[in-house]
């Protein structure tokens, strides 16, 4: 079993596999995402070793291991498989520091027929399998296989930086890229492309709309026939403005007359109300003097003294009986 005497173990992450064809010495094979999903869980717990070695088994993995795989996951945005692993030997950590990458080893357990993948012929297809180890290698089999030390490095490894001077070798990488537009915001490049297309279309539509509006506009010096007479557009505009101004003036005068009439009606109504109040007052007063019962009954309140007075008018003054 290997021993490490200088430093603590270090944790890493890596993109280790993606679907596609891989050429070996005597054949070309294809492995698709469906197969990798079926077998990916077998990589967790497998040893990390320096360079590939044959016949790695549970009974001998400790003597070869420089670390172990701790997690496996699929990243949808770049269509690749990633893993986390720990390395506890000085030699293993030094290889990573020197720029080495990773390569995975697996034993196929189910095969499919040959065919063609993106215009590349292959001899057989792997349908299922089991991982045996993850190797640290100077030259990985697959392109863009990278190791990163933490989540920030992982993001830098997978994110297509805006303004980054990097030549994109294939359209697939470009389509799956993510653009970091600010410190806390990342947008899939395909969404930016779609937004750009929509913006260009809207810009073209607005430009065409403006052109159509300009075409529809009439020059002020153009002439149009009115009742057999050619009249310039600017003369029509002036006539319209003059008529509009007159109509506004007429409307304002009409409103003023209407307001004055309403004020006069209110004054007349107030005067009539005052006359009616005076007439009613004098009628009640006269009724009290003449004993007119009908008018007297219009009073709002009939006191006991009013009743006594009314009885005196009708029947005469009551005489107190003389005491003998």
3-state per-residue secondary structure call for 208-223: HHHHHHHHHCCCCCCE
Residue 253, in any domain of the structure: no
Same structural domain, 152 and 179: no
Q: pTM value?
A: 0.48
- Same domain as 80, residue 151: yes
283 in any annotated domain? no
- Rounded mean pLDDT of 100-125? 93
- Give the residue numbers spanning the domain of 197: 159-217
Q: Is residue 205 part of a domain?
A: yes
Is the pLDDT at 193 greater than 80, yes or no?
no
With respect to residue 20, please indicate whether it lies within any of the assigned structural domains.
Answer: yes
Count the domains in the chain: 2
Lowest pLDDT segment from 113-127, 141-155, 166-180, 262-276:
166-180
136 and 49 in contact (C-beta within 8 Å)?
A: yes
* pLDDT band per the 50, 70, 90 thresholds, residue 132: very high
Q: How far apart are the C-alpha atoms of 65 and 133, rounded to whole Å? A: 9
How many other C-beta atoms are found inside a 10 Å radius of the C-beta of residue 26?
Answer: 6
**Are residues 196 and 152 located together in one domain of the fold?**
no
**Could you tell me if 124 and 180 lie in one domain?**
no
Domain-ending residue, one of 158, 184, 199: 158
Alpha carbons 294 and 272: distance in angstroms, whole number = 24
Structure confidence by residue, pLDDT tens digits, 226-258: 788 887 777 877 888 887 776 666 676 777 778
Is residue 238 in some structural domain? Answer: no
**Domain contains 39:** yes
Asked if the structure places residue 313 within a domain, the reply is no
Taking a C-beta distance cutoff of 8 angstroms, is the pair 309, 299 a contact?
no
The answer to the question of residue 213 being in a domain is yes
Instruction: Say yes or no to pLDDT of 74 above 80.
Output: yes
More confident residue, 62 or 235: 62
Mean pLDDT along residues 30-35: 94
Q: What is the pLDDT of residue 168?
A: 45
**Is the pLDDT assigned to residue 5 strictly greater than 70?**
no
Residues 73 and 43 in one domain: yes
pLDDT band at 167; cut points 50, 70, 90: very low
Q: What is the mean pLDDT of the chain?
A: 77
- Residue 161, pLDDT score: 39
| 22 & 120 share domain | yes
Q: Are residues 144 and 180 in the same domain?
A: no
Same domain, 81 and 141: yes
Looking at the fold, whether 208 and 74 belong to one and the same domain comes out as: no
Question: Domain boundary at 158, 176, 198, which?
Answer: 158
Q: What is the rounded CA–CA span in Å between residue 17 and residue 15?
A: 6
Q: Are 170 and 81 members of one domain? A: no
SS3 74: strand
The domain boundary, picked from 158, 185, 201, lies at: 158
Q: What is the rounded radius of gyration, in angstroms, for the C-alpha atoms of the chain?
A: 52
193 and 54, same domain (yes or no): no
Q: Are residues 75 and 117 in the same domain?
A: yes
């Amino acid at each position: 079993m290997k021993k490490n005497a200088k430093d603590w173990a270090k944790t890493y992450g890596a993109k280790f596999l993606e679907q596609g064809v891989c050429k070996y010495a005597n054949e070309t094979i294809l492995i698709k995402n469906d197969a990798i999903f079926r077998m990916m869980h077998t990589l967790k717990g497998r040893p990390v070793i320096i360079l590939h070695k044959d016949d790695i088994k549970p009974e001998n993995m400790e003597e070869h291991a420089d670390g172990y795989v701790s997690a496996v996951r699929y990243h949808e945005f770049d269509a690749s498989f990633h893993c986390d692993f720990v390395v506890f030997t000085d030699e293993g950590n030094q290889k990573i520091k020197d720029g080495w990458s990773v390569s995975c080893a697996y034993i196929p357990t189910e095969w499919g027929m040959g065919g063609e993948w993106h215009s590349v012929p292959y001899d057989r297809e792997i349908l299922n399998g089991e991982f045996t180890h993850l190797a640290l290698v100077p030259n990985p089999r697959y392109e863009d296989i990278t190791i990163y030390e933490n989540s920030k490095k992982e993001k830098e490894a997978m994110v297509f930086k805006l303004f980054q001077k990097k030549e994109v070798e294939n359209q697939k990488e470009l389509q799956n890229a993510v653009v970091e537009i600010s410190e806390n915001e990342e947008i899939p490049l395909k969404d930016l492309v779609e937004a750009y297309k929509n913006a260009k279309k809207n810009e073209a539509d607005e430009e065409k709309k403006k052109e159509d509006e300009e075409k529809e506009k009439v020059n002020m010096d153009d002439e149009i026939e009115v009742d057999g007479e050619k009249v310039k557009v600017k003369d029509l505009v002036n006539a319209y403005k003059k008529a509009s101004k007159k109509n506004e003036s007429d409307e304002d005068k009409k409103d003023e007359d209407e307001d004055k009439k309403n004020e006069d009606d209110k004054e007349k109504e107030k005067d009539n109300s005052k006359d009616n109040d005076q007439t009613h007052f004098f009628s009640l007063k006269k009724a009290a003097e003449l004993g007119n019962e009908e008018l007297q009954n219009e009073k709002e309140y009939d006191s006991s003294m009013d009743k006594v007075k009314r009885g005196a008018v009708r029947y005469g003054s009551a005489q107190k009986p003389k005491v003998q």
